[in-house]
Each structure stands twice: as structure tokens, then as C-alpha cells.
Structure 1
Amino acid sequence: MRWLSTAAVAVLLLTAGCSALIGADDTEGGTVTPAPVPTAAESDTATSLDSPPGVTTERLENVALLSAAHRQALNGTTYTLNERYTELTIGNDSTSVRRTETVAVESPTRYRDEMVRLTTDSNGTVERYEQSTYADGTNWYERRDDGTVERQRGEVRFTSDKYAYRTAFYLNRYAVVNQSATAVVTRDGSRTYRIRGSGGEIPTTERLAEFRIELLVEPAGLVRRFSVWYRTEDRIVEYSFWYEDIGETTAERPAWLNESASTN
């Protein structure tokens, strides 16, 4: 298997998997149940609970503050980021794009990113594309497979967490809505804030027929889950991200990298 080197590897690192959104999913683990309604004696305590930055007890007020707190909450910790994207075209010649991505982040320079994209055309033909990226702290390695396997490698040049910035970008772009409501809920015994909203915008000239979002936010500002769903005259799009194994994630070396090393 040949290795390819390129001067554009830095761009690939920043843009791989970032060209689109991903769909809502409720299977990331944990249950969400309404928090008990406080009694009169408890009401002062309940209303004095600190809300996440940018969030009030009534609505999502400042997305920029929330996204900054989200990035800060991920700073210095390990985590597994999951993303899902689904796009369906509406009409006689319907097509679809489905993408799933899982990223194990041990540090900004040590991570493993696994992405699969399925594209279905109007005839039902499915094209599969896989991309796997691994960074060991010094170098990064990438394997791409669309029927033909190619590999690239290069030196890690980024010291900030690009995946934290990526999800913060999606928050800034899609969580700004005209209407929203906040509810305090319990998730695995911990207090979180569930925010539901509608009336957002998308970065195209398409006319929106419907737009809604949902977030689960920890008190410090970490957005545990974010989902956006919207419909235009021609498309239905869903995107979501959610986090698992915070503080307990390791980025393991992929088997394909071990195999390629043994053949060189």
C-alpha cells in the first residue's frame, strides 16, 4: 500500500467531515427524566441554581457565551465525540446522504477519527466512503477508501482542540433561534438543562419550511448533546453530536496502521 504526501494535509485535518451537518439521535446513553417540581420551601433554592453561561431558566439567550463555555469545558480532558448527519432530497428523484463519525480525543494532538459516508442516488445505488485518521502526538496518519485505498501522513501542526472548535462552530451557526424554552432535567442522576428551540436559519438561499433544535447542557456549559432538524422545499436535514466517556477516553492505534507498518 503506497503512502501519499501532500502540502494540503493541514486543510484536510480541519475540513474532514466538517462540510455538512449530522442527525438527531437519542441513543447516546443515559436517560432524561423531568426533575421533581420543587415545593414552596424549595423554590428559592431551585431558582438560585446557576444556569449554564448564555442560558437562563426561560431560554437560550446568548449562544456565543454558551459555545465558548462548551470549548472551555472540553479543555484538558479526554472524550469521545459522536456525530450523525442525514440529508434526504424530496421528490421523484430522491437521494440521500448519511454520515456517521466517532472521534476519540486523548489530547489536541492525539486522537482517532473514524468516519463512514453512504450516498444513495435516485436509482438506489449506494456508494460507500470511509476515512480513518489517527494522530499519535507527533504525526498524523490517514486512510481513505472509496473502493480504492489511499493513505497519507504528515506532521501534527495544530496544538488546539479542533474537534471542540468544530462543535462550537455548529452551535454558533445553528443554535441561534427565534424562540426557545429551558427545562431543568436529571440525566443519570445529574442536573442538566434541556433547551428546545425553533425558527433558526441555514447558510443557503433555500426557503425554510420548519427548523428546530434541542440541546442538553451541563451547568458548566458543556453541551452533552445537540441536534438540529430542518426542512426546505427540496430537502430534509438532520444533524446531531453527543459526547461519551468524558475523562475516560484513549485514542488507540488503528489496526490498519499496524498492518501498513509491517509491510514497509
Structure 2
Amino acid sequence: MPPGVSDDGTNATALAAAHQDALAGQSYTVSLDTDLDSAAGNRTLHFEAQTNAAGDRVVLSQRSAGGGQSMSLDVFAANGTAAVRQTAGNRSTVSTGLEQSQTPANRLRSGAGADVHRLVAIANFTPTGVRTVDGEPLVVLEADGDDVAGTFAESNVSSFNGTVLVDEQGLVHSLSIDVRGSQGSALDSASFSLSYSDVGETTVKRPSWVEQAEEANATQS
């Protein structure tokens, strides 16, 4: 069994720590999608990032929408410096020559375990079998409405379905959660999808927008 996993359920803290350790010294790609529907409207967030093994070369993008507004954030960091592009509506600004420590790229690797903990702690996931993905056996953890233990425990939840695919070392390959609120509750629905892929095989490429920004700055100077 993966660390923190037993027939009785999953210790989110132990699994998150094992996931963090499994990524140490490895390049990887991470993707997180969040979709929330409530009385306040629909809000979506898409986050994707790639990092090299040392964590000193990172590219990430974040797209959010809600309340009639859309925003995006792009970051490229290498060798301690970073470029950041921020877009709100039709307005875009680019900053170059920043310190990596002052950007979200600096928190990517340290936050991997926290993301897993936050989502796994929502319910008590129990092992239900093994699934082979790309030739690798992964333990399947599942949870339903009877297992809700965290964020939605006090909400009026009509349905809950969660699935985690994790290897024996504790590396979470994918995690998906779908929640439906009962009639009259503040929450209509929520979905979360987290994945870690190309572990040890991710190549971080320099985005074209960085070169364009540097060329524009050189022309203006």
C-alpha cells in the first residue's frame, strides 16, 4: 500500500508527505482544474506548470474566470530570474528581470504536497483495487458521499465521487472529485481535477512571449 493508505482509509498528511518526497529531484508536469457553481455564479481555474529536476527552471500558466471577468498569469523562471505576464480582460502587462523568489514559480515545488493534502482531506479515500496505466500498476482510492470528512462535511451534499490513482511510493498520478449540492444549499456543484505527469521526463521550454517581451524592451531602451 502507498504511505498513509490502509483498508480503513487514507491519512492525508502521510500521503501528501510521500507525494512531496516522490517528486524531490524530479522534473514533472502538474495540472489542476477547478470548477465551482454556486448562487454567486460560476468560477473556473486552470493551472498548469512544468519544472526541471532542480526546480530552478519553471514555466507556469494560470487562467481564471468568474463574475464576468477573466484573468491570466504566465511565469517563466530560470537561474533565479523570472518574467511575468499578467492579463485582465484585454489588458496585458509583462515584467522581466524579476527575482524567481518573488513569483509563484518559487512555490511550485514546495506546494505539491499541500495541493494533495487539501483535496485528499476532503473525504476518507479507501483502496478499491489496482489499475494499470501506461504499464504501471496504480492503487485506486475512492470515496463517496458517506466518506465526506473535510471541506464539504457540513454542507448539504447530495452526491460526492472521488478517485485517486497513486503508486506504491505515494506519488499521486491523478485525482478527481465531483460534488453536487442538494436543493437549497449554497453549493450547486464543484469539481477538482489534479494530475502529475511526465515525472522525470519533463522538458521546460522557454515561452515565445518572453522573447517577444525582451525584444520589445530592447527596442524601447
TM over 0.5: yes
Partners of 1:244 and 1:109 in 2: how far apart?
A: 19
Question: Does 2:54 align with 1:54?
Answer: no
1:137 and 2:70 correspond: no
CA contact (8 A) 1:199 1:212 kept: no
Counterpart in 2 of 1:242?
Answer: 195
Q: Which moved more, 1:73-82 or 1:205-214?
A: 205-214
Question: What secondary structure sits across from 2:114 in the alignment?
Answer: helix
SS at 1:201 equivalent = coil
**3-state SS, counterpart of residue 249 of structure 1:** coil
1:252 pairs, out of 199, 205, 208, with: 205
Give the conservation status (yes or no) of the 8 Å contact 1:178–1:200.
yes
Amino acid at match of 2:195: W
Which residue is 2:57 aligned to? Answer: 110
CA contact (8 A) 1:199 1:210 kept: no
- List runs of 5+ in structure 1 lacking aligned partners: 1-50
What's the TM-score once normalised by structure 1's chain length? 0.69
Matched pairs, number:
204
Distance 1:204 1:117, change over 3 A: farther
In structure 2, C-alpha distance between the alignment counterparts of 1:109 and 1:179, rounded to whole Å: 34
Q: Percent identity?
A: 22
User: Paired residue for 1:156, among 100, 107, 130?
Assistant: 100
Shift of 1:170: 2.8
State the shift of 1:209 in Å: 4.2
TM-score (norm 2): 0.81
1:114-263 aligned at under 5 Å gives the runs 114-119=61-66, 121=67, 126-146=68-88, 147-153=90-96, 154-157=98-101, 162-176=107-121, 177-178=123-124, 180-197=126-143, 198-202=147-151, 206-232=155-181, 233-235=185-187, 236-263=189-216
CA offset digits 1:173-218 (Å, max 9, x no partner):
3313246343122112221101001313218975444444211001
User: Does the Cα contact within 8 Å between 1:60 and 1:182 map onto a contact in 2?
Assistant: no
- Segments of 4+ moved more than 6 angstroms: none
* Compared CA separation, residues 178 and 193, structure 1 to 2 (3 A): closer
